[in-house]
Amino acid sequence: MSSLHDVAIAALRANGFEPDESDAMRAEVAATPRAVILGAGVRDLRALLWSSIDNPESRDLDQVEFAEQMPGGDVRLRIGVADVDSRVKKDSAVDRHAMTNGTSVYTGVSVYPMLPAALSTDLTSLNEGADRLAVVVELTIASDGRVTGRDVYRALVVNRAKLAYDTVGPWLEGSGPVPTKVASTPGLEAQVWLQDRTASLLKRVRLQAGALEFDTVEATAAGKDGKVEAIVVTRKNRARDVIEDVMVAANVGIAQYLAAQRRSAIRRVVREPKRWPRIVAIAAEHGTVLPAAPDARALSTFLGARRAADPLRFPDLSLSIVKLLGPGEYAVDLAGTDDDQGHFGLATAHYSHATAPNRRYADLVTQRLVKAAIADDPAPYSDDELREIARQCTEREDAANRVERVTRKASAALLLAPRIGTVFEAIVTGVNRDGTYVRLLSPPAEGRVVRGEAGMDVGERVRVRLVSTDAVRGHVDFEGIP
């Protein structure tokens, strides 16, 4: 295998993904009409100044946003989510393929999309200047950040400006110029500032409720033609915060809408952490006493204090806590019940994944449930079908994480191969029956400690020596240094 692409394809197949399109899928895509029709019950909102903020290279655009200042101080925030269901019919060949894979897989150098690129980057993407159908989540937000009203409906929208995190973020933070597209689009500068202010209000209310705010390091391979040239780190900035806060509000809104309509739904759940005692121990190392029982509000206060006290090391602390909280999963909320399957990290009892239907199958299924509720139609899935979909989506997300982990390690192996024997500073990111894992501080590469790992625990800073690499198998092996 000579490239990261080869490694990724092998990992995809080993983890049950189907990276290739079938003849039936290609035929369905070829037969998909390009024209968008304003049908019954679909509002024409093309006149609004919709915009999107994403990675500059992203082509599978799932959301657009528009905020409007209302008399009296309220803000009407609209989030338009690509109506993927209008182009991908339930039980079609494309839909069955999407369920099999469950999610798009991102390896840095390449993207392996859940849907054919002809759909996800074109016909179902909210591309700039194109008429597109969307499911709109409309929220009324009071001046104190409380969501006081909610509506969900279908609409026809046009993305007026595709913006990028890496230019909007520095501008909002006062360290960069106004992005060219913002400056050249009448009204957009005020619009983005209003979205920023509204997102800040939403975040403040979430944090007051005990939501956890992290700043983890996202390290991905960068290169071309399957060749790794560097490992780059993506850090949060103000533009990313805006979209994150707005999407959280939209996902909560969708979950609350389906619950109010007494419809069964798939929730995104993060349960109380089983490794809470280790979180308590880490807090104690920093002079903070946390309750013996899991307490999101207390943990949120601790994280906020550590961010302010030591911003340079906060990403490492964030990574440790995220690992100890454990993974999220999908679960079914049955119609008319409240089983308290909440999201510990977001401090909410109602949370869905609904804002990325081009990239996650759970979001596409949720979109179908929402559209059926809007039209007062029967649910498109039985409760048993939803349970199976939730199980499948959780398993596929775990599999995608394994693939991405292999490709991250393969990337690191390719870069670190000339440095066998070098000693690095690292942080312990995982300790389980499969082994002990660390992430180097520089470069931000991950690997397994195969010798000298005794006594290491999540969150510790350690010194390790690189002993071997194997890009084909995705192995980067270290030994602990006393």
Provide, rounded to the nearest whole percent, the portion of the chain with pLDDT above 70. Answer: 96
pLDDT range class, residue 266, cuts 50, 70, 90: very high
pLDDT score of 1: 42
User: Which whole number is the average pLDDT over 281-306?
Assistant: 95
Residue with tokens 């080993």: 14
CA dihedral 159, 163, 165, 168 (to 10 degrees): -120
Residue 191 pLDDT greater than 60, yes or no = yes
Task: Round to whole Å and give the CA distance between 334 and 264.
Answer: 4
**pLDDT-derived band of residue 403, with 50, 70 and 90 as boundaries?**
very high
| CB contact at 8 A, 480 and 414 | no
420-481 architecture in CATH?
Beta Barrel (2.40)
Residue 226 clears pLDDT 70, i.e. is over it:
no
Question: 95-111 pLDDT, tens per residue?
Answer: 999 999 999 998 777 88
Mean pLDDT, residues 213-241: 76
Which parts of 102-237 fold into alpha helices (H)?
Answer: 117-118, 165-172, 180-184, 188-209
pLDDT, one tens digit per residue, over 463-476 is 999 999 988 887 89
Contacts 24+ apart (CB under 8 A), 276-279: 276/324, 278/324, 278/457, 278/458, 278/459, 279/321, 279/324, 279/325
pLDDT of 233: 72
Q: What is the pLDDT of residue 2?
A: 54
Distance of alpha carbon 28 from alpha carbon 18, whole angstroms: 17
Domain range annotation of the chain:
4-270+330-409, 276-326, 420-481
pLDDT score for 225: 63
Question: What is the rounded CA–CA span in Å between residue 262 and residue 439?
Answer: 45
Instruction: For residue 154, report the phi and psi dihedrals to the nearest 5 degrees.
Output: -95, 150
Tokens of 193: 């500032």
pLDDT digits (tens, 9 = 90+) for 425-463: 999 988 988 899 998 988 888 899 999 999 998 889 999
> 209 vs 3, 244, 255, 426, CA distance in Å?
47, 17, 18, 33
Of the candidates 177, 308, 292, 166, the residue with the CA atom closest to the CA atom of residue 240:
166
**Span 373-395, mean pLDDT?**
98
Structural contact between residues 163 and 64, judged by C-beta atoms closer than 8 angstroms: no
- Asked if pLDDT for residue 150 goes beyond 90, the answer is yes
The residue that leads in pLDDT, 258 or 225, is 258
Mean pLDDT of the chain, nearest integer: 93
* pLDDT, tens digit (0-9, with 9 covering 90-100), for 348-367: 989 999 999 999 999 999 99
Highest mean pLDDT among 276-280, 310-314, 402-406: 276-280
DSSP 3-state assignment of 65?
Answer: strand
Q: Tokens 């199958």 map to which residue?
A: 361
User: CB under 8 Å to 337, separation ≥6 — which residues?
Assistant: none
- Mean pLDDT across the stretch 126-142? 98
Contacts of 25 by beta carbon, 8 Å cutoff, 6+ apart: 93, 94, 97, 116
Report whether 333 contacts 269 (CB < 8 A).
no
Q: Does 223 have pLDDT greater than 70?
A: no
Q: How far is CA 9 from the centre of its chain?
A: 22
Quick one: pLDDT at residue 443? 86
What average pLDDT score do residues 415-422 get?
A: 92
Distance CA 475, CA 462 (A): 19
pLDDT of residue 433: 86
Is the confidence at residue 54, as pLDDT, over 50? yes
Q: What is the mean pLDDT of residues 104-119?
A: 90
Kind of pairing between the strands at 50-54 and 42-44: unpaired
The answer to whether the beta carbons of residues 419 and 467 sit under 8 Å apart is no
Model pLDDT, residue 335: 85
* Distance, first Cα to last Cα, the chain: 36
Segment 309-322 mean pLDDT: 86
pLDDT at residue 87 above 70? Answer: yes
| 96-101-107-110 Cα dihedral, nearest 10 degrees | -20
The tens digit of pLDDT for each residue in 193-202 reads 999 999 999 9
- The three-class DSSP label of residue 218 is strand
Q: Residue 316 has what pLDDT?
A: 80
The pLDDT of residue 339 is 62
pLDDT score for 371? 98
Give the pLDDT mean for 44-61: 96
pLDDT of residue 471: 85
* pLDDT over threshold 70, residue 224: no
- For residue 426, CA distances in Å to 318, 335, 417, 443, 459 come to 14, 47, 18, 10, 10
Mean pLDDT across the stretch 168-190? 97
- Report the phi/psi class of residue 91: left, alpha or beta, with left for phi > 0 and alpha for psi in -120 to 50: left
